[in-house]
Structure 1
């Protein structure tokens, strides 16, 4: 049995529009310490992360405390919306969840995000059978992973988790078969 702890990043500073370097807010930095507290008794063997700053920074405190390296995996990055900032994110997201192939010019569809994330996850499951792994990730990327294994995780579920940062989802795998999925909010370290 393998346990994968997907850690959606803590609260980012949306005034920085460059997705790859968007930092955490002060609250986000504080909340990353709650991630450390939550993961401290989980016997983690390895940490992977999206290369985006907010994801790396959310798991960095834990990595430092337990002397674990963070291996960056580009295919765990968040989906690219377009080459420009969009103001109506809700309508855009709804369109994407209603049509998994919908995308803006120079952007990615949810299907493309899902395929690259699942491909990387399968490699990790193959290489770390029976281990407990952390993956620093993003809301949309993680939602597409959950949707792959649980097709009723759709737009309404995506909306439900939109403001939960950090958000931890533990998926227990028997080889590459999902046994169960648990959600945790680090704000209160509670099961949801």
Structure 2
């Protein structure tokens, strides 16, 4: 049995809040995703509950008449419930210490486990070609699961949007950036 999972980082948005909308550029990027995915036979779409993630894939879902399933496990990772002036350095540390956890936040290992659960559920589903739409930090942690050296600098290099293709063939995974 073969599966294809297309992991999409949302398009450009006006902010980081869960209700942040896409920018005008982000709206145009979402239309580019329609063209990009037209060559694939997608049969399922799962999105983070954040507005920017849903808006990123909504034009494609409408064109293909595919329902967008919302999965809270695809929501962006909470680094902390505190505001830190050095949050970038704190985030960097979580790529090397996967169990490091800040006040009210989630460790990298915890976040990685929840998105990996989504992938495992997709593998056991009846769907062959699934798009999941998520956020940069969570996407990077998923990719680190398959590419152990994937780290902070790779996260910094992610674009809005970005698309990775995870192929599952008889228990073996391959990962490729296709955007």
TM-score of the superposition, structure 2-length normalised? 0.93
Report the Cα distance in structure 1 between the residues aligned to 2:139 and 2:108, rounded to whole angstroms.
11
* Number of positions where the alignment pairs a residue of Structure 1 with one of Structure 2: 178
Residue 149 of structure 1, aligned match among 146, 150, 157: 146
Q: Name structure 2 gaps, 5 residues minimum.
A: none
> Where do residues 41-120 of structure 1 align in structure 2 (5 Å cutoff)?
41-120=39-118
1:63-85 CA-to-partner distances (Å, cap 9, x unmatched) read 00110000011111110122244
Say whether the 8 Å CA contact 2:79–2:91 is kept in structure 1. no
2:178 is aligned with 1:177: no
Give the alignment's Cα RMSD to 1 decimal: 1.5
1:2-56 CA-to-partner distances (Å, cap 9, x unmatched) read 1101110011112xx53x2121111111111111110011000010011111111
Say whether the 8 Å CA contact 2:19–2:50 is kept in structure 1. yes
Say whether the 8 Å CA contact 1:2–1:175 is kept in structure 2. no
Q: Once structures 1 and 2 are overlaid, which stretch shifts more, 57-66 or 167-176?
A: 167-176
CA 1:140 to 1:176, structure 2 compared with 1: closer, same or farther past 3 Å? farther
Q: Name structure 1 gaps, 5 residues minimum.
A: 186-192
